[in-house]
A = this chain, B = another copy of it.
Amino acid sequence: MSKKINLPKIIHDPNKMNLETVRQKNKKKKIVFIPTMGALHEGHLSLIKKGKKIKGLTIVSIFVNPIQFNDINDLKKYPNTLKKDIENLRQLKVDYLFLPNVEKIFPNNFETTVSINNLQKFLCGKNRPGHFNGVSTIVLKLFNIISPNVAIFGKKDFQQLTIVKKMVEDLNMNIKILEGSIIRESNGLAMSSRNKLLSPKNFHKASNIYKGLKYIKDEYKKGEKSSKKLIKKLEKYYIQSEIRNIDYIEIFDPLTLHSIKYVKKGAIIAIAVKIGAVRLIDNLKF
């Protein structure tokens, strides 16, 4: 009864976390896992709420994974709101917070890389060398420590979600991957921990990212099927909205991430842009 008030139980040590999940699984508890890098926003909380609907134990991890940052400055300025995060987890009645130190996860003699060779060549993988190896390696480690039955990832990081699903398939992992919808600010900007780093002016400007995606979907509905032409239209739209630093705009197959010439139902349009020093991504399904 009063036990609930002390949730989440915070565990720092990977071995202790593993012992605990093994113990719980022996009691036939289902483990639902939501990995995060902290700085929790409504997007994360929606994944946790999705997890809480499943009967079982909910485990959230907060670990700012150094090996997925190809830019050391990006890592240094990554927001940290731990106290508020824990309060959020408490309110959502999350059972465990796994909060490891970087030295325990990546000791000096660590030397293993998990690589999903093809999927990482596209989209964000092009301009963030090593990023997705860093993602797949930490996710595999976390999966092995937590041994979840279900893990939940957001669709905003569409390529990450695709890569994690492929890794689970290729490595015969017995884990069900659930997908959470993109949650947006009131101005339409996709929720991201990095939004905190935007000036008010740039926050306003960034609302055009999603407006542009919706505009393109409308153009598609009106009959334009050529990916090339739709991409050109979006480029123009962004530049007119003073979003000039466009990393990529791609229209692709959701399973292979291969570009497609003509848009069809289920295809994805994804973008990455920089506004000020902040890199933002978003995507929309046709």
Residues of A near any B CB (own CB < 8 A): 14, 18, 22, 26, 28, 110-119, 136, 140-141, 144-145, 147, 166-167, 170-174
Which residues of B lie under 8 Å from residue A119 when comparing CB positions? Answer: 111
Known: A112-B171, A114-B115. 15 other contacts (CB 8 A): A18-B172, A22-B174, A111-B118, A111-B119, A111-B170, A112-B115, A113-B115, A113-B117, A115-B115, A141-B170, A141-B172, A144-B171, A144-B173, A144-B174, A147-B174
Q: How far is B181's CA from A261's CA once the two chains are assembled, in angstroms?
A: 58
Q: How far is B117's CA from A110's CA once the two chains are assembled, in angstroms?
A: 9
- The residue of chain B having its C-beta at the shortest distance from the C-beta of A117 within the complex is B111
- The residue of chain B having its C-beta at the shortest distance from the C-beta of A14 within the complex is B172
Which residues of B lie under 8 Å from residue A117 when comparing CB positions? Answer: 111-113
Chain B nearest CB, measured from A146 CB (Å): 9
* Given A22-B174, A141-B171, residue A112 in contact with residue B114 (CB < 8 A): yes
Chain B nearest CB, measured from A148 CB (Å): 13
Which residues of B lie under 8 Å from residue A26 when comparing CB positions? Answer: 28
4 closest Cβ pairs, A-B complex: A112-B170, A144-B172, A111-B118, A111-B117
Q: How far is B144's CA from A167's CA once the two chains are assembled, in angstroms?
A: 12
Q: How far is B110's CA from A171's CA once the two chains are assembled, in angstroms?
A: 9
- The residue of chain B having its C-beta at the shortest distance from the C-beta of A175 within the complex is B144
Chain B nearest CB, measured from A201 CB (Å): 42
Chain B nearest CB, measured from A161 CB (Å): 16
Q: How far is B4's CA from A65's CA once the two chains are assembled, in angstroms?
A: 50
Q: How far is B173's CA from A28's CA once the two chains are assembled, in angstroms?
A: 20
Q: Can you list 6 residue pairs at the A/B interface with Cβ under 8 Å?
A: A14-B172, A18-B174, A26-B28, A110-B170, A111-B119, A112-B171
Which residues of B lie under 8 Å from residue A114 when comparing CB positions? Answer: 112-115, 171
Which residues of B lie under 8 Å from residue A14 when comparing CB positions? Answer: 172
